[in-house]
Amino acid sequence: MSEAVTLAPVHPQLSVRQRFPRALVWLLVLAPLFFATYSFANWFTSQRADVGTLVFAWEQHTPFWAWTIVPYWSIDLLYGLSLLLCSSRHELDIHARRLLSAQVLAIAGFLLFPLTYTFARPEMTGFFAWMFEVLMGFDKPFNQAPSLHIVLLIVLWVRYAAHTPKGLWRWLLHIWFGLIGLSVLTTYQHHFIDLPTGILVGWLCIWLWPLDRPSPLTQLRWQAQAKGRRLAFYYGLGGLALGALGVSVGGLGWWLTWPATALVLVALNYLLVGAAGFQKHADGALSWASNFLFGPYLVGAWVNSRLWTARQPAPVLVMDDVWLGRIPNKGELDGTPIRAIVDLCAELPCTRAGRAYQSLPTLDLLPPSPELLQAAAEAIEQARQQGPVLVCCALGYSRSAAAVAAWLLNTGRAADPQAAEAMLRQVRPGVVLREEHRRNLAAMAVGT
């Protein structure tokens, strides 16, 4: 688990001495907030009569390992040092916002869905017993799901991994952070449900504050297209229904809250955030946070793309070294002449395998705008300088087809959208271009 620190030149590297004042300011903000909100949530929940428990039967066999209080406590030291670890002001501010978001979201969970821990610790003596006594001086058994320890673990793990060289040190880091995660169970601090909910919130904090692009919170725009709003409604309704089913079934049904969360976030992308919400990198990969948060949806989208294209998996040549097809699997383009890829898919990663690559992410089932079609046409023409180019989306029938049609129009190879569509259907009969696509193609042609 790692997040590359690819900061632009406008974010210069700072020495430890230069980082210290701003890191100290952030620590003076975050530390009092942590103790104040954590203590308040503990006190407030202890006064309530509606505090429940959520324990699986198998948890009765969870061992108590007193020594794991050491890795459990170590997260406090790692928390403070992580602010000095950041090598630029930009990285420091993003990391601090993640820590702040972790606190806010976890405390909100404690207050909205109060739970308590139920297992009694065995009697202890010695140093470990003293560490537990200090811990219980301010940590009561009411702050459960999502485990703030796990939320912070994800945020810190990503930050430390980005600054740890590969090899032995990276492996030691992973082992230690793994012990911290295990310790929330073996110190009898949390029940199991607190872990996956904590992991989910941790990745949400990272998704909210990415290092290499603006935050989704700064990109909120109401979806202008009625179809986009309808899709947002359907995805949101599906997510809420799936979540309600998981909660009502209980047991293994709780795992349904993961795909439920993914569908709700997809709805948010369609309604407010746009294609940028999938956080696709310039190399075709999705961010770690997107891979986790949207994971169940991504699996479904990939399976859907393979089922729909099972009869025509290979790309087709349109003309003049421009090919049209689905987003390729790893190794799928081996043995083909394709040397460049123009990718219109927002929701699935693309394996470039050393080829020239251009990503123009657009949401599935929505027609690309005239501006994006113009950009795609220019990207295709530029990519042709590298050799044969594949223009792809999830299926290779709609978004990418519209992009190739835009290229045909922009380069004079087709006189109008209808002629471009007819040329595409000759080589790929399953192409789906609707009236909105034709209208945007015509608007692009007028604009050029």
pLDDT per residue as tens digits for the range 248-280: 998 889 999 999 999 999 999 999 999 999 999
The residue out of 149, 184, 212 marking a domain boundary is 212
Residue 163 · residue 5 · CB < 8 Å: yes
C-alpha 311/C-alpha 304 separation (Å) is 13
Q: pLDDT value at position 5?
A: 44
Range of the domain at 179: 16-212
Output the pLDDT for position 446.
84
Q: Give the rounded percent of residues in the chain with a pLDDT score beyond 90.
A: 81
- Do 191 and 279 share a domain, yes or no? no
Place 6 in a pLDDT band, splitting at 50, 70 and 90.
very low
Percent of the chain with pLDDT over 70: 97
Rounded to whole angstroms, the Cα distance separating 379 from 415 reads 20
Last residue of one domain, picked from the residues 212, 245, 260: 212
Number of domains making up the chain: 3
Handedness of CA 305, 308, 311, 312 (dihedral sign): negative
Angle in degrees, CA 319, 324, 330, rounded to 5: 130
The per-residue pLDDT for range 282-300, each reduced to its tens digit, is 999 999 999 999 999 999 9
224 pLDDT tier (thresholds 50, 70, 90): confident
Q: What is the pLDDT of residue 3?
A: 67
- Same domain membership, residue 203 and residue 237: no
Domain match, 251 and 200 both: no
Catalytic residue among 86, 205, 392, 393: 393
Please report, for residues 177, 269, 398, the alpha-carbon distance to residue 372 in angstroms, rounded to integers and kept in the order given. Answer: 43, 18, 14
Contact 23, 83 (CB under 8 A): yes
Amino acid present at 430 = G
pLDDT at 9: 44
Residues 336, 276: Cα–Cα separation, whole Å: 31
Same domain, 328 and 423: yes
Same domain, 354 and 254: no
Residues 271 and 346 in one domain: no
Our answer to whether residue 350 is catalytic in this structure is: no
- Whether 108 is in a domain gets the answer yes
8 A C-beta contact, residue 171 and residue 57 = no
In-domain check, residue 217: no
Taken as a whole, the chain contains a residue count of 448
What is d(CA 330, CA 162) in angstroms, rounded to the nearest whole number? 26
**Weakest-pLDDT range from 32-36, 54-58, 137-141, 423-427:** 137-141
Tens of pLDDT, residue by residue over 403-437, are 999 999 999 999 999 999 999 999 999 999 999 99
What pLDDT shows up at residue 10?
56
Is residue 1 domain-resident?
A: no
Cβ(1)–Cβ(178) below 8 Å:
no
- Answer for the pair 138, 39: CB distance below 8 angstroms, yes or no: yes
286-342: per-residue pLDDT in tens? Answer: 999 999 999 999 999 999 999 999 999 999 999 999 999 999 988 899 999 999 999
Q: Give yes or no: residues 297 and 328 share one domain.
A: no
Tell me if 261 is assigned to some domain: yes
User: Has residue 214 got a pLDDT over 60?
Assistant: yes
Q: Are residues 366 and 341 in the same domain?
A: yes
Specify the amino acid at residue 250. Answer: G
Average pLDDT score over residue span 360-365: 97
Residue 4 has pLDDT above 60, yes or no: no
Contact 71, 180 (CB under 8 A): yes
Taking 80 as the threshold, does the pLDDT of residue 1 lie above it? no
The answer to whether residue 7 scores a pLDDT higher than 60 is no
Q: Does 138 map to a domain? A: yes
Q: State residue 139's pLDDT score.
A: 74
Q: Is residue 197 part of a domain?
A: yes
The structure's pTM equals: 0.93
Same domain? For 94 and 160 the reply is yes
Please report the pLDDT score of residue 8 as a whole number: 43
Q: Tens digit of pLDDT for each residue in 151-172? A: 999 999 999 999 999 999 999 9
The pLDDT assigned to 13 comes to: 79
